[in-house]
Amino acid sequence: MTTNPLSLNVARIELREVRLPLREPFRISSGVCTERRIMLLQLFDADGSSVWAECVAGEEPNYTEETIDTAWYAITQWLAPRVLGKTVDGPAAVSPLLSQNFRGHPMARAAVEMGFWGLAATVAELPLSRLIGGTHERVVTGISIGIQESPDALVQRAKAAVAEGYQKVKLKIQPGADIAYVHAVRAALGDDIDIAVDANSAYTLRDVNLLKELDAFALLMIEQPLGQDDIIRHAELQRQLTTPICLDESITSLDRAEDMINMGSGRIINIKPGRVGGFATSIAIHDLCLQSGVPVWCGGMLESGVGRAYNVALASLPNFTLPGDLSPSHRYWERDLVTPEWTMDESGTVGVPLDRPGIGVTPDMDRIDELTVRHETLIAPRSDASMTGARNA
Ligand code: OSB
Ligand code: MG
């Protein structure tokens, strides 16, 4: 037995799929979501401690390659067997275990890896934010508004968001729903509010003149205008824009973050822990950006309150200086899966749950049972050393 207080051994993982309808459809350039299919995980250690985690993969491969179904397969077939019944030396040791000789599936890896961070915080009786070295007690929040029918409809949403306290308004754009929409929102909100746009890879370098027109609106950033896997062309584009480019989809690892910085492909990074394989890589990207003078913020994937707990903890790290996509529960759901629900104050901030150990929210079991459409229990294989040990004890 090791005496490391963070030593962890997960004996069982339960996977659930819940269906949670959004209060209104969320449209981005590459697709629309009306009901989230959310994968929840529950990790149990041998002493009976447990924690919830969430896999943020979507319904279709329109954001990145992954979906809930590919992630479910990756976790059951390859990832859970790598960790079940194994003693690991703290949560930072999990990412290497899951990524060695393993290509792709970052959201699947992240779900398991983040569960270990959550479990470590639970066992250590520390708020997750404190476990990872978070310093912010409240995190500043922006809203991500989906593509609307008309500039007018978008202006109504944006005004309502500002009235609610949001400090940043991010507008989803695509060819045909860009200049006129952004112009209308800037005119309606005035110059004092931060406006960002997110294209989710809807443009190419042939659109450079149109993208240059966006410079006129003094945007905080243009998120992911070009190809999902592109670092090279974003550098070419950034040279021609005054507005900072923020990369989302393109930053899949610490190396890609370094490439962006070295090549000038962008000046801001949206860190989503699911996209980069979990907390260890998120923290490494955060640290690199801090050293390099690159601000970061925490993106969202329409998570339930479980996934949000991890994002809020991550966003409490010092270099998360720009508002995150960390909207409160009611922006997405009639009712969230957790108590308390996530709330935002009138100055657009969300409190980091520093008075509660672990992830800081409690899933509502009745509600989760009611919404569950698939359930699978994963346990360590019988031949595992820990089982032999138990028999000999
Ligand atoms: O590009 O940031 C994105 C949601 C799904 C897929 C991609 C993105 C988003 C969002 C939503 O912008 C942010 C949120 O959770 O509020
Ligand atoms: Mg984005």
Q: Please give the Cα distance from 46 to 36 (Å, whole number).
A: 32
pLDDT digits (tens, 9 = 90+) for 102-119: 999 999 999 999 999 999
Could you give phi then psi for residue 28, rounded to 5 degrees?
A: -120, 175
Q: What is the pLDDT of residue 1?
A: 45
Q: Where are the alpha helices (DSSP H) in the chain?
A: 68-74, 80-83, 94-99, 106-124, 128-131, 151-164, 179-189, 208-213, 232-240, 254-263, 279-292, 305-314, 365-371, 385-392
Backbone CA torsion sign across 200, 248, 198, 337: positive
Of 221, 236, 271, 220, residue with least CA distance to 250 = 271
pLDDT digits (tens, 9 = 90+) for 74-98: 999 999 999 999 999 999 999 999 9
Is the C-beta atom of 200 inside 6 A of ligand 1?
A: yes
* Mutational pocket test of ligand 1: of 23, 28, 249, 268, the residue with most ligand atoms within 8 Å of the beta carbon: 28
pLDDT digits (tens, 9 = 90+) for 194-226: 999 999 999 999 999 999 999 999 999 999 999
Distant-in-sequence, close-in-space partners of 208: CB < 8 Å, separation ≥ 6: 237, 240
How confident is the model over 343-370, as a mean pLDDT?
A: 97
- Cα 250 to ligand 2 centroid, rounded to whole Å: 10
How confident is the model over 260-289, as a mean pLDDT?
A: 98
Q: From atom 5 of ligand 1, which residue's Cα is the shortest distance away? A: 301
Strand partners, 320: 296
pLDDT of 386 > 90? The answer is no
The mean-pLDDT minimum among 238-247, 324-333, 384-393 falls in 384-393
* Mutational pocket test of ligand 1: of 147, 200, 301, 308, the residue with most ligand atoms within 8 Å of the beta carbon: 301
Is the C-beta atom of 302 inside 6 A of ligand 1?
A: yes
Catalytic status, residue 159: no
Is the C-beta atom of 301 inside 6 A of ligand 1?
A: yes
The span from the first CA to the last CA of the chain, in angstroms, equals: 13
What is the Rg, in whole angstroms, of the alpha carbon atoms belonging to the chain? 21
Helix (H, G, I), strand (E, B) or coil at 149: coil
Which atom of ligand 1 is the closest one to the Cα of 172? 12
Helix 151-164 / helix 179-189 crossing angle, nearest 10 deg: 40
Q: From atom 4 of ligand 1, which residue's Cα is the shortest distance away? A: 301
User: What pTM was estimated for this model as a whole?
Assistant: 0.95
- Cα 8 to ligand 1 centroid, rounded to whole Å: 32
Which atom of ligand 1 is the closest one to the Cα of 170? 12
